[in-house]
Amino acid sequence: MKKIKNALISVFYKDKLDIIAKKLDEQGITIYSTGGTYDFIRKNGIEAITVESLTSYPSILGGRVKTLHPKVFGGILFRRDFTGDNNQIKQYEIPEIDLVIVDLYPFEETLAKTDSEAEIIEKIDIGGISLIRAAAKNYKDVLIVPSSADYDALIELLDEKQGSSTIEDRKSFAARAFNVSSHYDTAIFNYFNAGSEIKSFKQSLSNPSVLRYGENPHQEGLYYGKLNEVFEQIHGKAISYNNLVDLDAAINLINEFDNTTFAILKHTNACGIASREKLSDAWADALAGDPVSAFGGVLITNRKIDLGTAEEMNKLFFEIIFAPAYEKNALDLLKSKKNRIILQKKSTSFSKRQFKSILNGVLEQDKDLKTETKDDLETVTVEAPTKKEKIDLIFANKIVKHTKSNTIVLAKDEQLIASGVGQTSRVDALKQAIKKAGEFNFDLKEAVMASDAFFPFADSVEIAHKAGITAVIQPGGSIRDKDSIDYCNENNMSMVFTGTRHFKH
C-alpha cells in the first residue's frame, strides 16, 4: 500500500473533478495543476499550486507547452527505490508526484465535426500523452488516471483506501492508460495515413457491447463499434452476434437498390427479394420467393413501412425488421411481439475497407463496391437481351454479389425466383436453384440467370436453357468462354459479360 502525497491534475473534461479535488484536499494531498484546471479547482474553494510556480516557466506557445519540464516529469518518473534517483530529486528540489490525473484533447471528436486541418492538428495532445505514458511506465510508484471515464474508479479507490493504492491498483490503472494512449495514437496515425501510403494494419475500438454469446452458445461474443450510429433499436430483445452478422449482409444488399425493395435474409443470404411500385407488393413477392426459409428471418426494406404491409408481415414469425421509418399504427402492430427486434435506419457511412482474422493474422481488402449498370454489360451473343431482360439481369447480379459462393441466382420480373448458395460447383448451385424454383411453383420460362464467376464449361447454360431461362449475366474470363457463347447462339439465348467477378466467402 502506498500513500498519495502529491497529485498533478491537468484535464480537458472537468465533470466530477470537483468531487475528486475535494477528496484529495480532505486527505491532505497537495494538488499541482495547470491553467483552466487550476482555475476550476480554486473556484471550488480548494487549495492548489500552479505548475508554473513549480517550473518557474509560464505556459507558452499558446498553451502548447505547459507541463513538459524536468521538475514535472522528474517527479513522476523517478524510481523511489533507486538511491541515485532520490539524490537527484533532492538536489533539484523536485516534488514526488504519486498521482497523475490527465485526459487528452478530443482529437477524434474534432475529426468528426470539422475538415479544418489546423483545428485537427491543434487537438493532437503532446503534454497529456507524455504524462500518461510517464506515469503508467512508473506504475510501481505512481497512480495514473488517464481519462474522465476513469473518474468513478478513482473516487471509489479514494473512498475505500483513503488516499492510498496497492501495486495491483496502480498496474490496473496503468493498463487503462496504455489502452488510452495506444487508441489515441492509432486515431492520429489513421488520419495521417488516410491515403494508405503506409501499409500497416492499425485499428482500435474500445468499450464493447457484451453479447449473449458468439456464433454458438459456448462462444463468448463482443461487438466493438457504435451501433447507435447505424440504427435506433425501437423494440425487442438484445441483438445477438448472429443478428449483427445478418444485419450487415442485409444492409449491404438493400443499399444496392434505389426503387422500392423488400428483402428477407437467412444466414446472410437472400431467400426472398423483390422490387415493386408498392411496398406491400414488394413484401408479398419477396416472401413468395421462399416462404419456408423466411421463417425466423431478417427483414429489410428501403421504404417507410405502412399499416397494410405491417399487417401482412405480422403473419410471419421473424427475428428482425430494419427500415428507414414506420407509420405509427404500423409500428404499434409490429410491437405486438415482445421479442421482435425493430430497428430504424440512421444516416451513416461505412468504411470502404474490410478485414477479418485468419490463421495467425488479419486479411484486409477493399470492399466489393462495384455495382454493374447497363453500361457495364457487354453482349457477347448474337441475341441481345431485351429491355426487360436487362432490368432483370442487373437485378439478379446485385443479388449474386451478396450471396455466398459458388452461387447462381434466378430472377424474373425483378423478383428472386431461387438461388443456389454456397455450393462446391457452379452446376450444383444451378441445379439447387432450379429445384427450389420448382418446389415453389415458379415458371422459369423467360427468367434470367446470374453467376458470381465465369462458367468453365457450357454445361450450366445448357441446363439453364432446358429449364426455360433465356438470358445470362456472368463476368466472363474463362479460357472456354466460347463454349458457353456458342451454346447460347445455337439456342437463341442472350448472354452478357460484366468483366467483374463477385466471389463472396
Show which residues are catalytic: 137, 267
Grid cell, residue 214, equals: 458468439
State how beta strands 353-358 and 231-235 pair: unpaired
Closest CA to 342 of 308, 301, 312: 301
State how beta strands 448-451 and 416-420 pair: unpaired
* Rounded Cα gap, residues 247 and 346, in angstroms: 14
Grid cell, residue 57, equals: 516557466
Grid cell, residue 15, equals: 465533470
- 3-class SS at 423? coil
Q: What does the angle CA 359 – CA 239 – CA 207 come to, to the nearest 5 degrees?
A: 65
DSSP 230: T
**Cβ count near 459 (within 10 Å):** 16
Grid cell, residue 58, equals: 509560464
* Maximum distance among all Cα pairs of the chain, rounded to whole angstroms: 98
Which of 389-395's residues contact partners 24+ apart within 8 Å by CB, and which partners?
389/446, 389/448, 389/470, 389/471, 389/494, 392/447, 392/448, 392/471, 393/448, 393/450, 393/471, 393/472, 393/473, 393/496, 394/473, 395/275
Name the amino acid, one letter, at 57: Y
Mutual orientation of helices 17-26 and 151-161 as an angle, nearest 10°?
Answer: 20
Q: What does the angle CA 429 – CA 430 – CA 434 come to, to the nearest 5 degrees?
A: 120
For 83-240, where are the alpha helices, taking DSSP H only?
83-91, 107-113, 117-122, 127-137, 151-161, 167-192
> Which residues have a Cβ under 8 Å from the Cβ of 502 and sit 6 or more positions away?
368, 370, 397, 400, 401, 452, 453, 475
Q: What does the angle CA 9 – CA 12 – CA 16 come to, to the nearest 5 degrees?
A: 70
> Which residues have a Cβ under 8 Å from the Cβ of 18 and sit 6 or more positions away?
40, 41, 44
* Rounded Cα gap, residues 352 and 362, in angstroms: 16
The owner of cell 454456397 is 422
